[in-house]
Amino acid sequence: MRTTLFQRAAAVATTLGLTSLGLLGAGAAPAQAATSDCPKGYLCAWANGDGTGPMFKTKTSMPTLGSWDNKILTRYNRTGLNVCLFDEQNYAGGYSWDTPAESYPINGGNAEISSIKIAPTLRDCESDPYPYWATATSPRAGGFGDMNGDRRADAVLSDEAGRLWFLSGSGSGRLIGSGGWKAFDTLTRHGDFSGDGREDVIAREKATGKLWLYPGTGSGGLGARKLIGTGGWNSMGRLAAFGDLSGDGRSDLLGVEKATGKLWLYPGTGSGGLGARKLIGTGGWNGMNALVGAGDMTGDGRADLVAREKATGKLWLYLGTSTRTLGARKLIGTGGWNSMNHIIGAGDTSGDGRPDLEAADGVGLYQYQGLATGGLRKVDNDNRSWWALEGATAF
Ligand SMILES: [Ca+2]
Ligand SMILES: [Ca+2]
Ligand SMILES: [Ca+2]
Ligand SMILES: [Ca+2]
C-alpha cells in the first residue's frame, strides 16, 4: 500500500499536505497527555489511535521493533529529524514519514510498521543522501571544475541537513562537511582564489553578510576558511565565482547589487582576497535568477558567463572579451530553464575538452554538452537520482 519516496517524489508536497490533516485537534485530551510524556530528542509511539497507554520511545534507528512490531498507530516525532516508518523489518517495503517540522502527534493508517529509520534527510531513508554524478575523463587537465585533479569534473552538494558532499565524478560521494552549511545562502566555486592552483569555494554567511573562502585541498576536501569579506555582502543578490575575467591569471567573483541591478567584478588578488570592484554591467541583472560561471564555452581562452532570465526562462551566454568585460550575449537556451532547480557549470563533463552544463529538474539530471559554437546539445543520460533535493544546493 505504501510506496517509496522515489515513487512519490513528484508528489512530496501534496503528501506532506495530507499528512498535516492527520494532526489531532486541539481538544484531543489524551494526545495532550502523551505529548508531555515524550522527551525531546525521541520518537514516541503508542498502539492506539489516541496516544494513551504504554509508550514506545527511541532516539536511534531500529531495524526490528520486537513486541511493537505491527503495533504502532500514533507517533510523536521529537527527534528534530525525519522519521521513516517501514512496513517490513530492516527498512524494507513501503514507508511513510514524519518530518522534523511536525510538532504534534500523528496517527493514521494501519498498524503495519516493522522498522524505523531516523535520518537527517528523506533521501537517507532509502538511498544515498547525495545524487548520482558521473563524468567522463577530460583530455586535458584544465583544472576548472576539477577539485581533486583527476581530470573528471566534480560537483559539490550542500544538502537539506546542512552536510556538504564531494561528488567526484565516479558516481559516489564523500562527506566533506558534517553540518552547518545551511548558514550560507550562497555557495560558489570555480577557479583558484588562494593562489595554490587548486579550486576553492566561496560562501556567504546569511546572518552576517560575511564572505568566506574555503580553500580546496586538492583532494576534494576543503581547508581552514579565511574571511575575505567582513560584511555587507547581503546587499548583493547572486554571486558567481567565475574564472579569470580581469586577465591577470587569477580567478574573479561576480556579484549583482540588489538595489541597482548592477553587475560588479571583484578581482581575485592571488592571496585569497578580493580587490577593488569594477562595474561590468550597468543594470538589469536583477532580472536574472541564476548566474553560472561555466568556464570558456566559446573556446577563445576567455571565461564566459551563463545567466538565466527569470521572466522568460531563457538561458543566455555572456562572452568574456579581450577588454576584460562581458560582451554581446548569445541565446543558448530558448526557454523552459526555470524548471531547473540546479544548473551546474562544472567544466567538461562529457570528455571532449569543452565545458558543459548539467541541470536537474527535481528528478532527472541532464547533460547539456557545450558545442564549438558556444551552444548546447541536450543529452539525457537517464540519471533520475536527483529527487528530494529541494532544500539542497549543487554547485
Ligand atoms: Ca575530479
Ligand atoms: Ca586554491
Ligand atoms: Ca570565451
Ligand atoms: Ca564537454
How does DSSP assign 132-165, residue by residue? --B-PBPSS---TT-SSSSSB--EEEE-TTS-EE
At 246 the pLDDT is: 81
pLDDT over threshold 50, residue 271: yes
User: Cα–Cα distance between 144 and 191 in angstroms, integer?
Assistant: 6
CA atoms within 13 A on the CB side of 273: 6
Cα of 265 to ligand 4 centre, how many Å? 26
- In the chain, the amino acid numbered 321 is T
Which positions ≥6 away from 296 have C-beta within 8 Å?
Answer: 243, 302, 303, 304, 320, 355
Q: What is the Å distance from ligand 1's center to 109 Cα?
A: 46
DSSP 252-291: EEEEEETTT--EEEEEB-SSS-B---EEEE-S-GGGEEEE
177 CA to centre of ligand 3 in angstroms: 33
Number of other CB atoms surrounding residue 39 within 10 Å: 10
Give me the pLDDT at residue 359, please.
98
What number is the average pLDDT over the span 234-250?
91
Residue 70 binned pLDDT confidence (cut-offs 50, 70, 90): very high
Interval between CA 294 and ligand 3 midpoint (Å): 10
Q: Where are the alpha helices (DSSP H) in 69-223?
A: 123-126
Ligand sitting nearest the alpha carbon of 143: 1
> At 126, is the secondary structure helix, strand, or coil?
helix
Question: How close is the Cα of 78 to the center of ligand 1, in Å?
Answer: 40
Q: Please tell me the number of the ligand nearest to residue 147's CA.
A: 1
Give distance in angstroms: CA of 134 to centre of ligand 1.
Answer: 10
User: Quick one: pLDDT band at residue 5, thresholds 50, 70, 90?
Assistant: low
Dist. CA 345 → ligand 3 center (Å): 14
Cα(214)–Cα(375) distance, integer angstroms: 32
Cβ-contact 301, 360 below 8 angstroms: no
Q: What is the pLDDT of residue 228?
A: 96
Lowest mean pLDDT among 95-109, 120-134, 143-157, 279-293: 95-109
Chain centroid to CA 265? 25
Q: Grid coordinates in use for 328?
A: 554581446
Q: Quick one: 311 exposed, middle or buried, by C-beta within 10 A (0-12, 13-18, 19+)?
A: exposed
Cα–Cα distance measured from residue 310 to residue 338, given in angstroms and rounded to the nearest whole number: 7
pLDDT of residue 6: 57
Mean pLDDT of 146-167: 97
Residues in the chain: 395
The one-letter amino acid at 363: V
Average pLDDT for 334-348: 97
The alpha carbon of 258 and the centre of ligand 3 are apart by a number of angstroms equal to 27
The answer to whether residues 162 and 181 touch, using CB atoms and an 8 Å cutoff, is yes
The environment of the single-atom ion ligand 1, i.e. residues with CB closer than 5 A, is 146, 148, 150, 152, 154
How many angstroms from the chain centroid is the CA of residue 270?
28
Q: What mean pLDDT value characterizes the chain?
A: 90
Task: Pick 390 or 233 by higher pLDDT.
Answer: 233
- 3 confidence band (pLDDT: 50, 70, 90): low
What is the rounded distance in angstroms from the CA atom of residue 123 to the CA atom of residue 104? 23
Lowest average pLDDT, out of 14-18, 43-47, 212-216, 327-331, goes to 14-18
Residue 285 neighbours by CB distance under 10 Å: 22
Q: How far is the CA of 161 from the centre of ligand 2 (A)?
A: 26
- Residues forming beta bridges with residue 376, ordered by sequence position: 370
CB-count burial class (<10 Å; 0-12, 13-18, 19+) for 388: buried
- In this prediction, residues 366-380 reach a mean pLDDT of 94
CA 20, distance to chain mean position in Å, is 26
Q: How far apart are CA 296 and CA 291, in angstroms?
A: 15
Q: What is the mean pLDDT of residues 149-156?
A: 97
CB-based contact 236:256 (threshold 8 Å): yes
Q: Which of 186, 148, 188 is nearest to 168 (CA)?
A: 148
According to DSSP, the residues that pair with 115 across neighbouring strands are 86
C-alpha–C-alpha distance, residues 198 and 200, integer Å: 6
pLDDT value of residue 17: 34
Give the span between the Cα atoms of 307 and 343, in whole angstroms: 10
Ligand 2 centroid to residue 301 C-alpha, Å: 20
Residue 25 CB contacts under 8 Å (≥ 6 apart), including other chains: none
- Ligand with the closest atom to the CA of 152: 1
Helical H runs in the chain?
A: 12-20, 29-37, 123-126
Question: Mind listing the pLDDT tens digit for each residue in 297-319?
Answer: 999 999 999 999 999 999 999 99
Of the pLDDT bands very low, low, confident and very high (cuts 50, 70, 90), residue 20 is: very low
